[in-house]
Structure 1
Amino acid sequence: MTNIDRCGREKNFGIDRMSSLPDDVRTHILSFLTTREAVQTCILSKRWIKTWASVPDLKFDIEEFGLVDINDDEMAIEFVNKFELLVKSVLEKRETTCVNRFRLWLVSQVYWPHTQAVAKYIGDVMKLEPRECSVKLGLRENLNLNTDLIFSCASLIYLQLCLYKRPSYSVAIEPNSMNLPCLKTLNLCGVTMSDDSFKKLLLGCPVLEDLRLEGCYIGIIEICSNSLKKLEIYSVNDGMKLQISTPNLLYLDISVMDMGEIMLLNMPSLVYASIFLLGWYDQDKYVIRGPKLIHDLSNVESLQLHFRCLEGQVKKKDFSSCPIFNNLKRLELVTWSFYVFDLVPYFLHHSPKLEELILENKHARGTLDEEPRDAFVQREFLKTVRIVGFGNDNRFFYKLINKLLAHVKIIGEIIF
């Protein structure tokens, strides 16, 4: 059926342009959908009946099936059964053995007692040699997960394994085989591993560039890698020992409540670093780790330091022997104690290229001590000062600005 519009152009009605697209184009379009959505397109027309079976991406998420907060255990079982049926039928009816991305997410707590029913299919997918794998599972009992198949899948370039368990919050895994020659990104969350297993894992990842550990329990973390460029460590076990030797590392982010020992041995290429160690700057532990840690970070261009200590615990002269930060352009100090701002002059004096200073307050109230007038020579110029978290306390704000102006002749822009 045709019609002519006001401009004399022919208009066509009733033409299914999507179905007329080439097979590879329609398959590519479905790759942006979850697997359940892709399967549902089989009702569109005859040409779409089997298109989903050729999509190289498998994306399964339990939350697609409806409510995430179900108090009725029988209903939860029903949802998991539907989810398992989808996974099983898709794997059986696929027309391609090629898998590009695999995602299996079953994280809502209401389904945790039934995780095992679905997790058994992970090994089957690993045999199809996916390039990317993201697995997020919650459970209330030991999971019979074949981690050997995961950690020996030589085709993987991206691996995310997040395991959540009540009440221990982590799942012990001890894979016997670890061979990931193509892996560039590794994200482990809620995993407990022995020191030896973790060492073997890193040895089995010769081209690893991006490593993230979150909520993991590993006694001694030794990271020695020439390929690693980005490292993130969050909320690992208390008392953990960390040793890093990564000559090509560009990005470092460490946020740990209590760390037994930290050694940054070889990071000459580091550009950005963010450090939050609860208590790393108290009077006892700073003597051991503070000066050495600051020296190890002296090459960075952007530095973020989190201080969480009580007022009076910071000694003003602690930074008097800090190194020269020859590359530092951006400094951010996040603190729960106003007293730490007394350290700002030391950074101003030791950072000749510093352009931006950010001061963020996490504490409600506080005081500022006066600096000795002859402590330092004033620096000429600072491009930007950003002040966050002071609310409507104008008196304190202006006192802080005056304190900064005692050490910087000209501040280009003050943002608050």
Structure 2
Amino acid sequence: MADIDRISELHDDLLLKILSQVPTKKAVTTMVLSKRWGLVWTMVPKLKYKDTRKEGDKSVWCLINKSLQLHKACVLESLCIQVNHQFSKAEDVGKCVSYAVDHCVRELSLDISSLSQIVLLPPNVYASKTLVELILAGHRLVVDVPSLPCLPSLQKLILICVMYKDQNSHVRLLENCPALRHLDVLRDMSDNVSRFIVKVPSLNSFTYMQTGLIGDSGTSLVLDSPGLRKLSLYDHGLIKNMPHLDSASVSHSVHQTNDKFLKYFSSVRIFRLILHNVAYCSAINFPRLIKFKLHLSCSNLSNSSLEPLFLFLHNSPILKVLTISCDPALGSKDLPLSWNQQSSVPGCLLSHLEIFVWEKFGGRRRQERECVAYILANSKCLKMARISPICSDNLEEKEKMVEDLKSMYRVSASSQLETPLRVTT
């Protein structure tokens, strides 16, 4: 039976959807299949270009320029360019970006990490009426925002290790994005900004991280976004206004993690806290907290403590899910660990806690075992506990640890308990 080309019989709209899901280089090659495919790819509304080392000396920009010259779609829905290994010219970048904006692009992603020269985006980027999502990445890519920018439709903005022309470039950009809901920022020491100010009333989700910064580098974050509901913060910052915050992930050292800072998170329902020095204990109440993960990533290994955990338990009356995670170094039997028997049982253990997880459990120290035993013995509503020991080549030692955990007393749950308590490795 002869082969039947059923794909070529499909409607143009369906073919365009298929070609939009593959890199543009592959879409272009379909023109050699048949006359039917000859010009179909030129109407694809989504263009994706990515360089690889396998391409050798052939520049991906040649492909981009030629394909854009042949492109016939009136509206360009998405343009994604990732050039990490090849030389890029500023004029090549500018032409591609300008073309996309002129064709009403909605999603623009530009990753030019290999750039060796300064690149300024064309001015029309900052006046696009159609951009909904903008992703910019590259140490030599400069955000140079004009005095009167306007991005009325922009909802998602991601800035990865870009440079800023001056201290106020990012401020002008954010101030003129009235619909912005999601903002991700990754900074390093060379971005030309000391105080990164985020004051966006419409902002719903924000992720902020600094890299390459040692100690007090003089850089800081100022956050004032009252509509914020989800926050991931991986450095210190001055927080002013977050009354509706629902979910937060925070990584801080002890001298920055204090009551004044933590009070802004008192409304959260889901909280992940990474402490690099766990000597600090918070007295802030968390009346809405139902899911809490405490990661002990101790930079001062001589001062390890479980005390902050129990203060959080005492101050989180309706907590249902508790996760403890430790750096492997904290599982060493030679490191001290502070743990004191509690004078009173936290209310959440008696009436709400349903899931208890301890990741990378060392189990060699008496204090760790006592802490786990205490939680198991006092959590009356517990449905599931999962203790994951640190990986060890000593199978006998690991099996003994698991047997010790299984033998710990667990307070009886109600007769309606359907999901049995279990210990897994």
Scaled by the length of structure 2, the TM-score of the pair is: 0.79
Which digits, 9 at most, give the CA deviation of each residue in 1:63-99, with x for residues without a partner?
Answer: 2x725xxxxxxx4xx221xx22211111111222310
For 1:144 and 1:211, how far apart are their aligned partners in 2?
Answer: 22
Residue 160 of structure 2 aligns with which residue? 189
Residue 401 of structure 2 aligns with which residue? none
CA contact (8 A) 2:121 2:143 kept: no
CA contact (8 A) 1:84 1:117 kept: no
For 2:44 and 2:115, how far apart are their aligned partners in 1?
Answer: 33
Instruction: State the secondary structure of the residue aligned to 1:90.
Output: helix
For 2:336 and 2:118, how far apart are their aligned partners in 1?
Answer: 52
Q: Which moved more, 1:337-346 or 1:185-194?
A: 337-346
Instruction: State the secondary structure of the residue aligned to 1:353.
Output: coil
CA contact (8 A) 2:115 2:138 kept: no
Residue 26 of structure 1 and its aligned partner are, at CA, apart by 1.4
Q: Which moved more, 1:201-210 or 1:394-403?
A: 394-403
CA contact (8 A) 1:106 1:115 kept: no
Specify whether residues 154 and 373 from structure 1 end up closer, same or farther in structure 2 by C-alpha distance, changes over 3 A only: closer
For 1:152 and 1:377, how far apart are their aligned partners in 2?
Answer: 55
Residue 244 of structure 1 and its aligned partner are, at CA, apart by 1.9
Residue 35 of structure 1 aligns with which residue? 24
Give the aligned length. Answer: 367
Residue 232 of structure 1 aligns with which residue? 207
Residue 20 of structure 1 aligns with which residue? 9
Residue 275 of structure 1 aligns with which residue? 250
Letter in 1 for 2:264: D
Instruction: State the secondary structure of the residue aligned to 2:340.
Output: coil
- Which structure shows the higher strand fraction? 1
CA contact (8 A) 2:88 2:116 kept: no
Q: 1:301 aligns with which of 269, 272, 285?
A: 269
Letter in 2 for 1:66: K
Q: Does the alignment pair 1:292 with 2:260?
A: yes
CA contact (8 A) 2:175 2:199 kept: no
Residue 414 of structure 1 and its aligned partner are, at CA, apart by 1.8
For 1:354 and 1:377, how far apart are their aligned partners in 2?
Answer: 10
Residue 105 of structure 1 aligns with which residue? 82
Residue 336 of structure 2 aligns with which residue? 367
For 1:34 and 1:377, how far apart are their aligned partners in 2?
Answer: 55
Instruction: State the secondary structure of the residue aligned to 1:299.
Output: coil
Which digits, 9 at most, give the CA deviation of each residue in 1:123-159, with x for residues without a partner?
Answer: 2322222000000002353223334232222210000
Question: Quick one: percent identity of the two aligned structures?
Answer: 22
Give 5+ residue unaligned stretches, structure 2. Answer: 388-425
Residue 62 of structure 1 and its aligned partner are, at CA, apart by 1.0
Q: Does the alignment pair 1:143 with 2:91?
A: no
Give 5+ residue unaligned stretches, structure 1. Answer: 2-12, 68-74, 166-170
Instruction: State the secondary structure of the residue aligned to 1:38.
Output: helix
For 2:346 and 2:104, how far apart are their aligned partners in 1?
Answer: 62
Which digits, 9 at most, give the CA deviation of each residue in 1:222-259, with x for residues without a partner?
Answer: 22222111000012564323222222211100112xx4
Scaled by the length of structure 1, the TM-score of the pair is: 0.81
For 1:118 and 1:79, how far apart are their aligned partners in 2?
Answer: 15
For 2:289 and 2:125, how far apart are their aligned partners in 1?
Answer: 41
RMSD across aligned positions (CA): 2.5
1:10-159 correspondence runs (5 A): 13-63=2-52, 66=54, 75=56, 78-80=57-59, 83-108=60-85, 111=86, 113-116=87-90, 118-121=92-95, 122-139=97-114, 141-159=116-134
Residue 27 of structure 1 and its aligned partner are, at CA, apart by 1.6
For 2:92 and 2:50, how far apart are their aligned partners in 1?
Answer: 11
Q: Does the alignment pair 1:213 with 2:178?
A: no
Which digits, 9 at most, give the CA deviation of each residue in 1:326-379, with x for residues without a partner?
Answer: 110011111123724211111111111101111110134233334254366664
Letter in 1 for 2:226: P
For 2:250 and 2:13, how far apart are their aligned partners in 1?
Answer: 47
Letter in 2 for 1:198: H
Instruction: State the secondary structure of the residue aligned to 1:27.
Output: helix
Which digits, 9 at most, give the CA deviation of each residue in 1:7-57, with x for residues without a partner?
Answer: xxxxxx543221111222212221111111111111121111100011111
